[in-house]
Structure 1
Amino acid sequence: MSDPIFREVESQNAKAKEINWKNSSDEIISLLVPTTVYPPREDTALLDHCISKLGDGNGKKLLEIGCGSGALSISAARNGWKVTACDINPLAVVATTGNAERNKVNLNLFEGGLEVESNSDFAQLCESDAPFDLIIWNLPYLTPPLGEEPRLGPMEDAGLVDRDGVGWGEILLSVINQTPTLLKSGGAMYLLHTNNTRGNLLQSIWRQSGWATRIIGEDDLGDGERLTCFSAWKPFDGKPIEWHQELNSTNIFMLNERREIGDCVVAIKQTDGRGQRNREWITRDGDFAGSWRLDPELYDKQIGVIQLSAALSVIDAYCAITNRPLASSHWINCATLGEQGISIRWPNDVWAEEGKIAGCLIEGRQVGEKQTIVLGIGVNLKSKDKQEFPLCGIRDIIDNEITLEEFAILLNCSIASLFELHPLAQLTTRHYNSIWQLMSNYLSKGKGLLQEGEKLSVNGITEEGELLCHDGVDVRIVNNSFTLEWV
């Protein structure tokens, strides 16, 4: 018998530990935790905090994969959720059963979990309680040991260690895509991971498969280790993109037509596209031209922030295409993008080293009390061509080919991730640091501003998306691009 297995068998005979765990509502949950069952730790507290921000569950259904001691499931049940929980460790199922009785809550429990080869049994076990409003998983995120490195026992390994090859976060993605009835329409996933290489790429992988993602909680553990909890959902409740062979302007079309929030139209050919200052936007064959109807509540965030966030969404799509960590997930990811020359030029442009990749335009219309907000984005997908204004295509800076349809789906996921008002994924301003870093990528090339002939240095952005500048004497807030020239 190998040492890890022997140690695990021995530990099963050890006395279970009594823990009084305080959840995010300051309630004490009494737990009896066997030694081979995962106890509540910092990651448990972070995931519990994210769930608690949703308020009373009001009987909505929640599935916890890998319930461990049952701390999260019990906390959610106390807060009004109807909870189903599972674990592949039979001792965890026993512990959760006993702990639920201790704390006088009802849970539906079963032994099982995701498998590498087939998940039909898991799906069948879940389907009796499906569809779920929320599915949560504190993913096993320890890096698999290499060669002769020490290993955990089988049950500890299953609960704590990610697997070689395709990780558990990707296996779950495959299961949800193959069994969409597990998640209710409008439902969401909460996945917690660490900032190792695989964890940093996980949101990009979910975006590639047509999901919107948004970070809803983080915990810095020190020494460079960071826990992240993100929500994943189908963009705008799975609305399909509306394709048109030809439109004069996708923004004008959306402003003139009756459309719902989250609707997206894409024109294969746009004949009269416009940019800032009503300048002509040239859309070549094969380039992207599309518009979204956004929630008027976003207007409180100011046009400047929306346009900068839209530029960030284009860069997120680029990150997903090239299998990089998302720019919006952490400013560090944006700093490395600077090596490829990827940047944001205030107020609304995306640039690469060779030239402009994309532009964004917010337009609104008020009729009585009804307000309409439309976001238009034009992206050069084709290779650059020789024009007076330097243009760069997405295909110039990626190694793999991407079609217009594939790019539209990725960008739609990025737009939903930054703009959709989803009840299970609260909007945050945490991506502002990413925007500033991407602007810094542009400024680091020695770029400066002229305002009516006066040179300004750029020092930051406000929460409203305005530029914080310095004229050599005073700080100046700039919110009008019409008087500016980049030099």
Structure 2
Amino acid sequence: MKKMRFDMENFGPWEIDVAPTVYPPREDTELLCRAISRLTGKASKAVEIGCGSGVVSMALSTLGWNVNSYDVNPYAVACSRANVERYGFEHKITVREGGVGEEGWEVPEGTKLIVWNLPYLEPPEEGAPSLEPIEEASMSDLGNGGWSKELLDSLEDSDNEGLTVVVLFRTDPISPSNPDDWLSSGWSSRTLEMERIGDEKLEVLALWKTGSGVIEDREELCESAMDSARGMPNTGWQRIVVENQISGRGRRGTAWESRPGDLLASWKINREPSEISTPGMLQIGIGGAISESLNCDLKWPNDLISARGEKIGGIMIEANSSDPGFRIGIGINSSPREVGGVSCQGWSGTMGMISLETVFRIVDGRVSGILENLEMVPDIDQEILEMISWKALSRSLSRGVQAEFGNEKIRIVGIDVNGFLLVEADGYEIVVSDSHSVTWRY
């Protein structure tokens, strides 16, 4: 048995007992504690999976949560109980042996928060050296979707309304546990904290059922999905998916042509853009998030494109003074085609043959991750929104795509808070706000 000191802002100092095979408090533990301290809702009933030494459960209890704390390692259970009792948390923390994947284990009724520092070491290959079984369960991920997928599957038949799941993922290099599995299953995510530790990027994500599980509206035919969204309720997460529209429109009033099987959807966002960012930055951020999930590129400011510059879809934000909030329209081709003699691509060319329903769940989750107003989860950080946007724009630039302003080649150096391009030409940095003034060469 060894002792470790845990002391960070809001939590500790605590002298922690850590037995052999028990995961000790490390940088990722502090990262997770910083993330849970950012939660904004009323503390009630929480679960920690893989409690290890008990530090995260003690942090949750400090924030007012009553915690059911679990670990499959009996030594971790003993350590957690000792540490919990030493600092007087035993009336708010119950420590038990068990966890995801264990027979008979389930999330206790009434739980509003689940927290898990996911094991993210690569699972050992067959015949390769491995940890002891108890250590393996607490430190190594599984194959085929990882422990994250195990948790997701365990929640499939539960009532997840009002439930927030806070999970620490390794996102670079990507682990078998992948946040995208949650998106395609109807969940949304928002980054609470991130940090690069050595060669690994760790992210703490808050996950919730998109729209609190409220089902989207559906129409076979309408004049315009954007116009239909205007008449939706002024509260909650409102969106509509249409099979066909008579007068669909893109930027500057251009017609949007679609085929059966394409995604045509609009969202009525019942809050002002200024609560989160600027309309221009929101448009690029949403496009950037969707392009990452659909494995395509983003052309500034709002086009989803293939690596060869073929248009796949577009994002449009619309608002007027007579209606509160704003609306988002998203159209995405399902398959390649020619439109007006111009070659276009579809998601089948970047992701393969996946269903319209899956694409909608992914897109809905991405829009929600940036815009949905939640009691428990704070709004997205402006810095993270800018990072999503610039990362998406940089993908094509890194492959040698060139931009021209007028007849002059320019170098894209960034985007400003309004979503305008920052470019360098003849040694000067200028701001470009009009997308039609820039020509892209693929």
With normalisation by structure 2, the TM-score equals: 0.90
What is the Cα deviation at residue 351 of structure 1? 1.0
The equivalent of 2:117 in structure 1 is 138
Asked whether the 8 Å contact 2:270–2:324 carries over to 1, the reply is no
Which of 56, 61, 86 is the equivalent residue of 1:77? 61
Equivalent residue in structure 1 for 2:359, among 397, 407, 417: 407
CA contact (8 A) 1:47 1:229 kept: yes
User: In structure 1, what residue type is equivalent to 2:57?
Assistant: S
Aligned to 1:6: none
Does residue 391 of structure 1 match 2:344? yes
**Quick check: 1:365–1:373 contact (8 Å CA) kept in 2?**
yes
Counterpart mapping for 1:356-395 below 5 A: 356-367=311-322, 371-385=324-338, 387-395=340-348
Q: Quote the residue 1:447 is aligned against.
A: 402
Structure 2 counterpart of 1:384, which letter?
Answer: R
Secondary structure in 1 matching 2:149 = helix
Matched, 1:273 2:248: yes
Counterpart residue number, 1:51:
36
1:234-249 map, 5 Å: 234-249=209-224
Conserved? CA contact 1:265–1:292, under 8 Å: yes
Tell me the distance in 2 between the aligned counterparts of 1:61 and 1:468: 47
Say what the alpha-carbon RMSD is for the aligned residues: 2.4
Counterpart CA distance in 2 for 1:309 and 1:218 is 18
Larger Cα Rg: Structure 1 or Structure 2? 1
Is 1:34 matched with 2:19? Answer: yes
CA contact (8 A) 1:380 1:392 kept: yes
**2:189 equivalent to 1:189:** no
Change over 3 Å in CA distance of 1:39–1:468 after alignment to 2: same
| Matched residue, 1:226 | 201
Q: Letter of the aligned partner of 1:44 in structure 2?
A: T
In 2: Cα distance, 1:472 partner to 1:186 partner? 54
Query: 2:87 corresponds to which letter in structure 1?
Result: N
C-alpha contact (below 8 Å) 1:23/1:75 kept by paired residues: no
Structure-to-structure mapping, 1:9-20, within 5 angstroms: 16-20=1-5
Q: Which runs of 5+ in 1 are unaligned?
A: 1-15, 320-341
Residues of 1 paired with 2:73 and 2:162: CA distance?
31
* C-alpha distance after superposition, 1:268-295 (max 9, x if no partner): 0011011111111112222211101124
SS in 2 for 1:146: coil
Q: Counting helix residues as a fraction of each chain, which structure ranks higher?
A: 1
Output one character per residue of 1:136-181: Cα deviation in whole Å (capped at 9) or x when no partner: 1111222222344333223222211223445211111110113x14
Structure 1 109/478 Cα, relative in aligned 2: closer, same or farther at 3 Å? Answer: same
User: Does residue 465 of the first structure (1) align with residue 419 of the second (2)?
Assistant: yes
Task: Give the secondary-structure state (helix, strand or coil) at the position aligned to 1:265.
Answer: strand
Query: How many pairs were matched up?
Result: 434
Residues 327-366 of structure 1, C-alpha deviation per residue, up to 9 Å, x if partnerless? xxxxxxxxxxxxxxx3211111111126101111111122
Q: What does residue 62 of structure 1 align with?
A: 46
Deviations 1:279-312 (A, max 9, x none): 1111222221110112424335112111112212
Aligned to 2:129: 150
**C-alpha contact (below 8 Å) 1:144/1:162 kept by paired residues:** yes
Give the TM-score normalised by the residue count of structure 1. Answer: 0.82
Q: Which moved more, 1:202-211 or 1:186-195?
A: 186-195
**Partners of 1:99 and 1:49 in 2: CA distance:** 20
Q: Post-superposition shift, 1:95?
A: 1.7
1:42–1:284 distance in 2 versus 1, CA, 3 Å: same
- Cα distance in 2 for partners of 1:196, 1:437 equals 14
Instruction: Classify 1:149/1:24 alpha carbon distance in 2 versus 1 (closer, same or farther; 3 Å).
Output: farther
In 1, Cα distance between the equivalents of 2:425 and 2:219?
47
Residues 413-433 of structure 1: CA distance to partner in whole angstroms, max 9, x if unpaired? 121122223343331232433
